[in-house]
Each structure stands twice: as structure tokens, then as C-alpha cells.
Structure 1
Amino acid sequence: MLITQHFKKFLHNSQSSGILLIFCVAVSLMVANSSLGNAFQNLLDTKIGTEIFHLNYPVSIWINDGLMAIFFLVVGLEIKREIVEGELSSFSNASLPIVAALGGMLVPALIFFLFNQGTDFAKGWAIPMATDIAFSLAIISMLGKKVPVSLKIFLAALAIVDDLGAIVVIAIFYTDQIHWDYLGLSALMVVILIILNRLNVVKHIFYLIPGVFLWYFMHHSGIHATIAGVLLAFAIPTNVSTTEISPLEKLEQKLHLPVNFIIMPIFALANTNIAFKNGMVDGLFSNFGYGIILGLFLGKVIGINLFSYIFIKLKISTLPDKSSWSQMIGVGLLAGIGFTMSIFIALLSFKGFPEIQDEAKFAVLVASLLSGLVGFAVLNFSFKRRKGLR
């Protein structure tokens, strides 16, 4: 398997940023349930910006629509680089994480649907579909060199494909109303970006300026603005050279630190400020709670391994190098760490219903905690057992 130098850096950053995310989650929960809770929520509800360009939004919207677009830009850069020169560059390498990701999206969504069909909660079916890249890679990286690099790459590629699926779901199913004039302007920006790419323009500024306009037009079109980050990423030039650093790789290097250590922690602080209320724990034992928790904790591992098993038996795909099915189960469990993406979809699913959003956030936190702890334990036991058999 082709392992790029930048991918190794990505794994390292994910480990350290994952620890920071856990810390931010703890801080956010403590603040929300202290005397500072109301003040912090008022801060998130404070509008900033200007009415001239219709850009006067609460701080929370700037975080979830603005900063998250930069996060998705980095995700898009990861996807494109892996397609061109990494794990997703050939069908034999790409097929397993792609198929596994598909199973890891469909089965959780089905579980949620079975619990919530015909109810007001049914539109949250996409909540358990997502995998959090930073947290899942942070947990597997904590196992150190015991983990085959191929397994880390498989989980990362799966999570990247999963996030791409989540972006498509957001664009198609969580768009309230389409404004075709702004959508047309968005398309014009994409055409400009493609022309710049074809002309082999390498300076980032010539892509970032149209990218900002793309975000603005996309935001006003009704389609969630985060997809602008991915579209921009796919326009940034790259190459297959191992000696020459491409514009894509340079931008990726510049953005990883601010995304992993500023943007994602801010998102965690802003979106896990859950004030525990009477009845919230009871919500875990409702069909809504079951759909989210079982979808993430069981649906992910079942879907990923079932689809992987079928394709491996058909000899279309193969297991990651030096890995076993017990380790695949552990990875499938880690993929159940939905956290940021699942919370993000929950916010979109139940706009204007903060109590339901809080219940969803709490269920996602519980499911992610279970998935992380059990996944870590399964992988750790598997590696120790394998070492003992040698």
C-alpha cells in the first residue's frame, strides 16, 4: 500500500487533536451545567456580521456553517489526495473502505428508521450514519505500533468516504429551499475553479477568493454551505510526485493545525454544551435514543463487517495487510464514534427544537463513548492475543 508522508502527519495530528477534543467536550459539559451555562448560550446566540450582505448570524451559525466549511475543505483535500496518490488510488485498494463505509451508513440508518418510522423523529435517520475522523483515529493511534499501518489507513479511508457520504446526504436531504439564482452563481464559481485548475494555476489565493464567494452563494442557495469546502478542495491541483510538494499538499499542511487545534475544538465547545435536565436520561431509553445508540454502537460494526465479508468472499477485496477479522470488528466499533458529524447532522435535522437537539447530542455522546471504549478494548485484546500466539 502507498503511504504518503503527509498521511502519517495526518494520523499524528488526529491523535493529539483527539485528546484536545475530549478535553473540550468535558469543559463544554461542565460550563453548560454551571452558573456560566446561560451566559455561554447567550454568547452563542449573539449575532455578529452585517445586514448589508445578509451576513448577520448568531455565533453558533458562523461556527457550524463557516468554520465547518474549512473543516470540510480539509476533508475534501484528504479525499482528493487519497484518490490521486494514496489508499483510494486503485480499485483493489479503494473497494474495501468504500464498501465498508457504505455498509456503515446503510445499516445504522436502517436501525434508526426501524425504531422511529412514522414518528416526528424519523427525519433524524442520518444521525447514526457518520464517523468522526479525529476521534476514531485518535483512539486507534493510542494503541501505538501494535496496530498495522494498513488498518489505520483502512479506518481513515473509511471515515473519509463516510464523511463524503454525509456531505451528500446533507446536500440532498437537509436542504429546506433552493434559491436557483444563488445556485447558478455557485455553479459559476465552480466553473472558474475548474478553469484555474486546467490552467495549472498554483497560487492558493486564486482559488481561495472564488472559494469564499462559492461559500457565500452556496450558503444563500439553501444547500448547506459546508459542501463548498469539498468543491473547493477538488479544484486544488495535486500530483503523484513523491519529491515535489503539490499545491494541494501545501494547503493541507497549512490548514491541519488550525483545523485540528482551533476549529474542531471550537465546534466541540459550541455544540456539546448540554445542560442536563430532568428526563434527559430517560430519553436514552426511548425509540429515539435506541435508534441513535444502537445505530452507532451496533449498526456501524455490523454494516462495515457484513459488507466487507461479502466483498472479500467474492474476492473483489482483501483484508487490510496483517489484520484479522477480530481487528476489523474493533475498527468497526471505533467507526461508531459519531461525535462531531453526528451532532452536526442532529442540529440540521431538528432546527428550532433545542430540546430534541440536546437529547440527540446526549445519545451521540453515550454511543460514541461506548463505541470508543469497547473498540479500544477489542483491538487491544486482539493484538495481545495475537502476540501471545506467536
Structure 2
Amino acid sequence: MTRLNQLLLPLRRISLPRPNASVLLFVAALVAVAIANSSWSDVYQDILNYPIEVKLLGFELFSHHGHTMTLAQFVNDGLMAIFFFVVGLEIKQEMMVGELSSFKKSILPIIAAFGGMIIPVLCFFAICHEGPATRGAAIPMATDIAFALALISALGSRVPNSLRIFLMALAVVDDIGGIIVIALFYSSHVAWVPLLIALGVLLIVAFIGKMGMRNPMFYLTAFFGVWLLFLESGIHTTIAGVLVALCVPLTTKVHIKELQLKLREQFTSLDKSGHRECSSGLVLSHDQIDVTEKLKKTLGRSISPVQTIEHMIAPFVSYFVLPIFAFVNAGVSFEGITSDGLLQLPLAIFLGLFVGKTIGISLFTWVAIKLKVSSWPSGMNLRNLIPLSVFGGIGFTVSLFIASLSYGVGHEDLLNQAKLGIFVGTIVSGVVGYIALGSVLKKTQPTEEVATAN
């Protein structure tokens, strides 16, 4: 590997999923389930209801509709806003330079995502079509991209890269759909004054970003301010994270050809003699120190504020926010669950995730190709599309989040049933998808490899 590739490698890794973080998330969920069904269940509930009170100059920062936030509310309205801030940064990258950056690239995963949202909702309503349970119809719409890609990665190089890209783009569109649903159906009565102030702040942030502001702290501070205003407005705070993220510029000061040229020049200068070195240390000359400083500046100018901020906070989200969220929200209790209850809300969510996602994604994709709206991506066919669609039913994180919004107040029994349906739907989708796709890939060689062999 060349020096240039070694320097650029971290840039390519910024947006890759972290399987270890996915494992940590799942372990946190299992711990929550174990505690919720043990003698510690009352302590677990007391922890979730613990008040989070922080005052600054007499103003309570974490106030939820005039009341002090509990730990559960702080996680769902506060920490999850940071998660959606990262989601917004990823959406912006995909819309600007990724798989959603052009009509030709985006049309097929967009159509597939629509199928993966519409059919699961219809499956849900086929079982639960009346009463308060219907508030959770959006639960099976979501796809947890981190879990899905972690499982696909476990299949190794047999998986054509086009399948990974298709699933990632589809999940991004899923996220956009989920954000719209949260904005429309899970926001409370709107207070217009803080909302209008927040929109004004967003316009200012976008304008300053256009003028070339690159300091990450400016955007993080703006995020916190807009979050507070959205908290007061009644619009769900996760929307604040997405909107601020879309205001962060993706522009860079150095383009790739210029970057390569400058790095070559600076590496050549660095190779000049003048340093002193032994087995345990290195002393650079003053000229070499100047070159290393120029190298850092050159590389820094080549990374956009979007990627800089995502790189800063993605580990915090992956290794802290999401495990805490899973611990707080995944504590399903099996006490009081009856066979009749299993055939209602849990079955509706399970069918939506496992059956609805599979049918919706594969059917809408196949119809779009048959109607010549798009063509098959390289390496993809109907045989591997169907098991790939099963992975869409892995809806853990955002499904749990929407469930908490749907049944969090006054319908704790429904929330518990929803968690059970999410767990079963996600696990079955993951296991079946992994086995089915692995079986198909044993019999069919990826198109890219076949082309290379020929």
C-alpha cells in the first residue's frame, strides 16, 4: 500500500458500519430484556423514570412540555436527536455524491424503499385496524442498516458490492421516510414562536455554511440551540438533528487531483535528509516539521465539514448513544403476555417486518425493472434480490424508537407487545436472510467475479 493510500484510507472508512458497535447494541438490548424479567424489574423502571434536571441561569435545559425529563425521555428526545444528526449527515452525503445523487442511481432503491414502507403498513393494518394499536403502523417501516450490513459483511466477498450499495441506499430512503412520519404524526401541539425562531436559525446556519464556515463547533452549537427550540415548539427534536445536518456544507478546499499532487510534492520534501533517527525515536529537522504541518493542513482542507463532524461524533453515537437507547427501550417483559395477545400487535409487527418488507422491496423492484424504469444493478438478479429483501425486516433501532413514540404514554402494555414483535421480526429476518442469501451465493458466483474470470 502506498503512502498516499495509507493517508486516504481513514477517509474511506468514515461512513462504514461498525459491526462491533452493532454487537454492543444487541448485547445492551439482551441485558435490558433479562433485567425486565428478573427481580430487578422495579429498579429498572425506577432508573428509566429518574428525573434529569440541569439548570443554567435559572433555565431548565431538559424540560419536556414543562416537566423535568425522565431518563427515558432524555434518551429518546435528547440523545436520539444526536443519532438523527448523524443520519442527516449520511443522507446529505448520499444525496450529494452517493447513491441518491442522480435520478439514474436513486430511482430503483427509492422505488424499493416505497414498497418496503407501503406493504409492511398494509400487513400491519390487516391484523391491527382499530383502536390505539393502530398508532404503531409505522413501526415495521424502518430498516436498521447497521445490523443488516453487519450480517451481509459476515458472508464475505461472495456478496456482490451492488447488493450492499442497493441495501444501503434503500435504508437511507427508509430513514427519510421515517423522519417524515415522525415529523407528521409524532409531534405534539405546535408552539409557533420557538419554531419560527428555530427556522430562522437554520437559515442563518445554512447561509454561514455557504460562506465557507468549516469549524465543527459552530455547527454543533447550532444543533444544540435548534434542539432546544424544537423541544419548546412541540416538533419532535429528532427533526432538529436532521435539519441542522442538512445545513452543514459538503464542500472541500482541495479536490482529489490537487490533493494527490500536493501530497506527492510534500512527501518528496519530507524524504530529504536532515532528520536523526534511532530504534526508539525520531527527531525531524525544522524543514521536515514544516512539511508535516503542511501535510496536516492539506489533508484537513480535503475533508468536508460533513465528514469531519460525522467522524467526530459517529463513534459516540455507535458506542454510547445507541447502546444506552437499546438498554432504555428494549426491556420487553414476558409477564402477562397471552396467546391471544401474541396474535394481535406482535403478529402485526412481525408480519410487517418479515413478510411485508420482503414482498414490498422485491415486488416493487421487480415491477420497476419489468416496466423498464430501471435495469438490474450489476451482480443483482431476482434470485438474490428476494433474500436481500428479507434483510429489510431488520428494523431494530428506528422501529423501537417509533414504538416508544407510539405507545410511550398511557399504553405501556402495547409498547411491551410492540417490543416483542420487533425482536421476533428482526431476529427471524436476520437469520432467514443470512441463510437464504448465503445459500443463493453458494450456487451463483457474483457477476463482478464472473466478468473478471472471463
Query: What TM-score comes out, normalization by structure 1 length?
Result: 0.94
Give the secondary structure class of the aligned counterpart of 1:96. helix
Give the secondary structure class of the aligned counterpart of 1:57. strand
Please list the CA deviations of residues 141-198 of structure 1 after superposition, one character each: whole Å capped at 9, or x if unmatched: 1111111122111111111110111011010011221111121111112111111112
Please list the CA deviations of residues 268-319 of structure 1 after superposition, one character each: whole Å capped at 9, or x if unmatched: 1111112221225542222x22221111111111111111112212222222
Paired residues for 1:342-353 under 5 Å = 342-352=399-409, 353=411
Q: Structure 1 residues 203 and 9 mapped into 2: Cα distance closer, same or farther (>3 Å)?
A: closer
Please list the CA deviations of residues 25-82 of structure 1 after superposition, one character each: whole Å capped at 9, or x if unmatched: 2111112222222212211110012464342210111111111111111111111111
**What's 1:337 paired with?**
394
**Is this contact kept in 1: 2:216–2:308, CA < 8 A?**
no
| Aligned counterpart in structure 2 of residue 259 of structure 1, from 317, 323, 328 | 317
Give the secondary structure class of the aligned counterpart of 2:177. helix
**What's 2:304 paired with?**
246
1:18 aligns with 2:22: yes
| Aligned counterpart in structure 2 of residue 364 of structure 1, from 422, 426, 438 | 422
1:373 aligns with 2:378: no
Give the secondary structure class of the aligned counterpart of 2:243. helix
1:284 aligns with 2:289: no
**Is this contact kept in 2: 1:280–1:359, CA < 8 A?**
no
Q: How far off its partner does 1:115 sit?
A: 2.1
Q: Structure 1 residues 191 and 280 mapped into 2: Cα distance closer, same or farther (>3 Å)?
A: farther
Give the secondary structure class of the aligned counterpart of 1:183. helix
Give the secondary structure class of the aligned counterpart of 1:266. helix
Mapped partners of 1:193, 1:136: distance in 2: 34
**What's 2:81 paired with?**
69
| Aligned counterpart in structure 1 of residue 146 of structure 2, from 106, 131, 134 | 134
Mapped partners of 1:5, 1:157: distance in 2: 22
Mapped partners of 1:289, 1:232: distance in 2: 35
**What's 1:29 paired with?**
33
Give the secondary structure class of the aligned counterpart of 2:94. helix
Mapped partners of 1:162, 1:237: distance in 2: 23
**Is this contact kept in 2: 1:100–1:303, CA < 8 A?**
yes
Mapped partners of 1:17, 1:214: distance in 2: 28
Mapped partners of 1:70, 1:381: distance in 2: 38
**What's 2:42 paired with?**
38
Q: How far off its partner does 1:379 sit?
A: 0.7
**Bigger Rg, which one:** 2
1:105 aligns with 2:103: no
| Aligned counterpart in structure 2 of residue 302 of structure 1, from 359, 381, 385 | 359
**What's 1:215 paired with?**
227
Mapped partners of 1:373, 1:175: distance in 2: 35
**What's 1:96 paired with?**
108
1:326 aligns with 2:366: no
Q: How far off its partner does 1:363 sit?
A: 0.7
Q: Structure 1 residues 255 and 318 mapped into 2: Cα distance closer, same or farther (>3 Å)?
A: farther
Please list the CA deviations of residues 323-343 of structure 1 after superposition, one character each: whole Å capped at 9, or x if unmatched: 222221122111101111111
Mapped partners of 1:271, 1:68: distance in 2: 12
Mapped partners of 2:209, 2:185: distance in 1: 30
**Is this contact kept in 2: 1:301–1:332, CA < 8 A?**
yes
Give the secondary structure class of the aligned counterpart of 2:393. coil
**What's 1:148 paired with?**
160
Structure 2, gaps ≥5 residues long: 1-8, 63-67, 260-301
**Is this contact kept in 1: 2:349–2:425, CA < 8 A?**
yes
1:124 aligns with 2:182: no
**Is this contact kept in 1: 2:121–2:138, CA < 8 A?**
yes
Query: How many pairs are equivalent?
Result: 385
1:53 aligns with 2:110: no
Give the secondary structure class of the aligned counterpart of 1:219. helix
Structure 1, gaps ≥5 residues long: none
Mapped partners of 1:320, 1:260: distance in 2: 30
* % identical equivalent positions: 41
Once structures 1 and 2 are overlaid, which stretch shifts more, 369-378 or 242-251? 242-251
Give the secondary structure class of the aligned counterpart of 1:347. helix
Q: CA RMSD in A?
A: 2.0
Q: Structure 1 residues 280 and 216 mapped into 2: Cα distance closer, same or farther (>3 Å)?
A: farther
Q: Which amino acid aligns with 2:377?
A: P
Please list the CA deviations of residues 234-267 of structure 1 after superposition, one character each: whole Å capped at 9, or x if unmatched: 1111137445211111111112211111111111
**What's 1:179 paired with?**
191
| Aligned counterpart in structure 2 of residue 86 of structure 1, from 98, 118, 122 | 98
Q: Structure 1 residues 6 and 128 mapped into 2: Cα distance closer, same or farther (>3 Å)?
A: farther
**Is this contact kept in 2: 1:77–1:233, CA < 8 A?**
yes
Give the secondary structure class of the aligned counterpart of 2:53. strand
Once structures 1 and 2 are overlaid, which stretch shifts more, 245-254 or 29-38? 29-38
**What's 1:355 paired with?**
413
Mapped partners of 1:7, 1:281: distance in 2: 49
Mapped partners of 1:6, 1:63: distance in 2: 30
**Is this contact kept in 2: 1:19–1:138, CA < 8 A?**
no
